[in-house]
Structure 1
C-alpha cells in the first residue's frame, strides 16, 4: 500500500458511500445498509470488495442495471430453508435478508439453509458468514461469482467463476476462525486492484491462452484465472456454483453475466448461506473452549525453519480490522482520485481524511 494513501475512519467511509449511493438514487435506508457492509469490507482488508466497487455499482445504477426499489421477498420456504428473491436490487440487501432468515430459522431448527436468486455482487463472502457469530452460530456462505474467469480443467472456455466460500466459527477468548477464499488462486477483485495501482500480478494467478504466466493485470481480459489445487479447485468451483446458483434458479455457466463489461443486463447472481446453532449440538461455552484450545495448539505447533508464526484463518483480517478501526482505512491515490470524480459527478461530498475520533461502523 502506498505510503501517501489517505486514511479514512470507518464511519466517515460509511457516510461517504451512503451519500454517493443516495445521490445515485438509492433510498436512504438501503444506502445506509449497503454502505455499512461495504465499509466493513474495507475494515477487514477486503480491499477489492469495499469502496473500490462503488464506481462500478454507480455505473450499473445509472445504466439501469440495478433495481433501486427492489421487492426482496421469500418465494419458497420450509422450516429449515428459504429462497430469497433479490429482485435485481443491490446484492448486499438480498444476502443480508438471507443471512438474517437463516439465523432466525436456525434458532428453532438447529440448522437452516437460505438461497438467493436475482441478486447482484454483494462484496466479500465473509461478511455474511460472520453475521452468525454474534448469535453463537457457525455461518457458511457460497456464491456464484459475478463474471466467468475460470475454464473447466484442461479447457479454454470461461464457463466458471471464482465461486467463493466463507466459513465463520466462533471461539471464546481467541478471534473467530474465519475462512474466506475463492476457488481460484486469486479473486478477480485482487486483479482489478492491482491494475488500478499499476502493480504486477505474481506468477501463478493467471495464464494466457497458451498456458504461459500472465502478470500484467491490464491484460487480464486475455487470460484465465487458475484454480486452487489444480483440478480439485475446478471441482469445487463447479459444485459451489451448483449449490449457490443452479439450486436457486440463479445464473451458472454460460448464463453468468459479466458485470464488469455489461451494465444493463440483470445478473441473476446466486448466493447461499447456512447457519448452524451450536447449542443444538452441545454447550456453547464448551464448544468455544475447545476451539480456543485447538487454535492455540495450531498456533504454538512446531514451525518450519524461517517461519515466524503459524496463522489461523481470519487472524490477519481480525488484526487488520483492529488496526484500521484505530488508524482509518487506507485509500490509495488512484482510488481516491476516482472517488473524487464520482462524488463530483453526482454532487455528493468528497471523501475526506481523519476528522476526530470516529467510531467504526458495525455490520447490521
Structure 2
C-alpha cells in the first residue's frame, strides 16, 4: 500500500481502538496509545505504531496481563522496586517514573526499578517526564531480545540495552539523549524493513563477521556495539542495573518477544530522577544549560557541516513538524495495520485519518 500521513489524534484513536478491542481497560488503552503516538511524533518510528501488531499478538496469546496489579515490592525513602505483574510496559514504567518523581521531591534523588514489565517504547519518553517538574531523568532498560554477543563472541547474551537522559532548559529545547548501546536499535532495523530500505554497513554483521545489509535477514547476524568493546561493556552494566538489580531478566533469561508471544518476559527498566531544587536554584541550572547549548551550537564547524545539533533537537523539530503536518506512515506498515484492523474488526487507520 502507499504511504500515508495521519494526524496524531487519528493515530492515537486507532491505537486505542485496537487495544480496547482486545479487552484493555479504556484508561490503560488511552495511556499506552498516547505514549506510542508520542514515539512516532518524535520520529522514534521503530517504537511507535509499528509495534502495535506485535503487542496485539502478545495480548491474544496471553503473553500480556490485561488487568495487572502494578505494585511496589521493595521500598526505602529514595528507592523502590515496582512489580509490573506482566502488564503493558508503558503502564509499568509510567508508574515507576511517577513514584520516582514523588520520592525525589522529598529526598532530592530517587531510583525506581521495574520487574515483570514489558517493552515500553523509546527510552526518551520516560527520561523526559521529570522535566515538567524541574527535575532531570536518567533511564536504563534491558532490551526485549538479545541481539548482541559479548565482544569477540557469537552467542547473543546481551541486548540493545538503551540509556536516556532528559536535562531541563530555560528557553532552549531540552537536552534529551536517547541511545542504544548498539550502533542501531533493533527497532530501526524493523523500520528499515518496512520501508524497503537496506541497512548501512556497520549496523550488523553475520556470523562470519561480514557486513549484513538486508534488514529482512537480521536473524542471520547480530548488532554491533557502539565503540567496539566499550559498547559491549556499557550494555552489560546497563543490563545489570536495569535488570539484575531489580530482579528482572538478563542474559540467557531474556525472552525474545519478536519470536515468543506467550512467555512472560520479566523485562526490567530503571529510572533515576534528580530534583534540581536539591542542588540550588533550578532557574540558574537551566540558564547555565541554555548558555552551554548556545555555545555548542554556535561553535566552529568542520568544512561541509551546516549545523551542530544537540541531543534531542532533531526529535524536537520533528515533533513540532508532525503535529502541524501529520505523522508519515510507511506503505509497508500501512498494509500491516490495514490487515490488523480487519482482523480486529475496527476502522482502518486510513478512515480514522479522514475523520
In the TM superposition, what is the alpha-carbon distance from 1:355 to its structure 2 partner? 4.5
Q: Give unmatched runs, 5+ long, in structure 2.
A: none
Q: Which runs of 4+ in 1 moved over 4 A?
A: 353-356
Measured in 1, the distance between the counterparts of 2:146 and 2:125 equals: 22
Measured in 2, the distance between the counterparts of 1:354 and 1:198 equals: 23
SS in 2 for 1:119: coil
Map residues 20-39 of structure 1 onto 2, 5 A cutoff: 20-39=18-37
Contact between 1:7 and 1:328, CA under 8 Å: does it hold in 2? yes
1:12 maps onto 2:10 in alignment: yes
Match of 2:73 in 1: 75
Q: Give unmatched runs, 5+ long, in structure 1.
A: 357-364
| Alignment equivalent of 1:309, drawn from 307, 315, 319 | 307
Quick check: 266-275 or 340-349, which moved more? 340-349
Match of 2:149 in 1: 151
Measured in 2, the distance between the counterparts of 1:110 and 1:200 equals: 46
Contact between 1:328 and 1:354, CA under 8 Å: does it hold in 2? no
Measured in 2, the distance between the counterparts of 1:345 and 1:151 equals: 37
Match of 2:276 in 1: 278
Quick check: 249-258 or 338-347, which moved more? 338-347
Contact between 2:3 and 2:332, CA under 8 Å: does it hold in 1? no
Q: Deviations over 1:109-147 (max 9, x none)?
A: 100000000000000000000000100100110000000
SS in 1 for 2:140: strand
1:111 maps onto 2:140 in alignment: no
Contact between 1:48 and 1:192, CA under 8 Å: does it hold in 2? yes
Measured in 2, the distance between the counterparts of 1:217 and 1:342 equals: 22
In the TM superposition, what is the alpha-carbon distance from 1:337 to its structure 2 partner? 1.2
SS in 2 for 1:39: helix
Contact between 1:150 and 1:159, CA under 8 Å: does it hold in 2? yes
Match of 1:299 in 2: 297
1:318 maps onto 2:338 in alignment: no
Q: Deviations over 1:169-224 (max 9, x none)?
A: 00011000000000000000011111122210000000011111000111100101
Match of 1:239 in 2: 237
Match of 2:246 in 1: 248
Measured in 2, the distance between the counterparts of 1:140 and 1:226 equals: 23
Q: Deviations over 1:242-279 (max 9, x none)?
A: 00000010000000000000011000000000110001
Contact between 1:150 and 1:227, CA under 8 Å: does it hold in 2? yes
Match of 1:331 in 2: 329
Match of 1:64 in 2: 62
| Alignment equivalent of 1:260, drawn from 255, 258, 277 | 258
Contact between 1:89 and 1:120, CA under 8 Å: does it hold in 2? yes
Match of 1:197 in 2: 195
Measured in 1, the distance between the counterparts of 2:253 and 2:34 equals: 30
Measured in 2, the distance between the counterparts of 1:321 and 1:159 equals: 35
In the TM superposition, what is the alpha-carbon distance from 1:5 to its structure 2 partner? 2.6
Over the aligned positions, Cα root-mean-square deviation in angstroms equals 1.1
Contact between 1:88 and 1:268, CA under 8 Å: does it hold in 2? yes
Match of 2:161 in 1: 163
Measured in 1, the distance between the counterparts of 2:291 and 2:87 equals: 43
- TM-score normalised by structure 2 residue count: 0.98
In the TM superposition, what is the alpha-carbon distance from 1:282 to its structure 2 partner? 0.8
Match of 1:361 in 2: none
SS in 2 for 1:229: coil
| Alignment equivalent of 1:52, drawn from 36, 50, 53 | 50
| Alignment equivalent of 2:121, drawn from 116, 120, 123 | 123
- TM-score normalised by structure 1 residue count: 0.96
Quick check: 181-190 or 19-28, which moved more? 19-28
In the TM superposition, what is the alpha-carbon distance from 1:354 to its structure 2 partner? 4.5
Match of 1:41 in 2: 39
Measured in 1, the distance between the counterparts of 2:19 and 2:158 equals: 30
SS in 1 for 2:128: helix
| Alignment equivalent of 2:90, drawn from 92, 97, 114 | 92
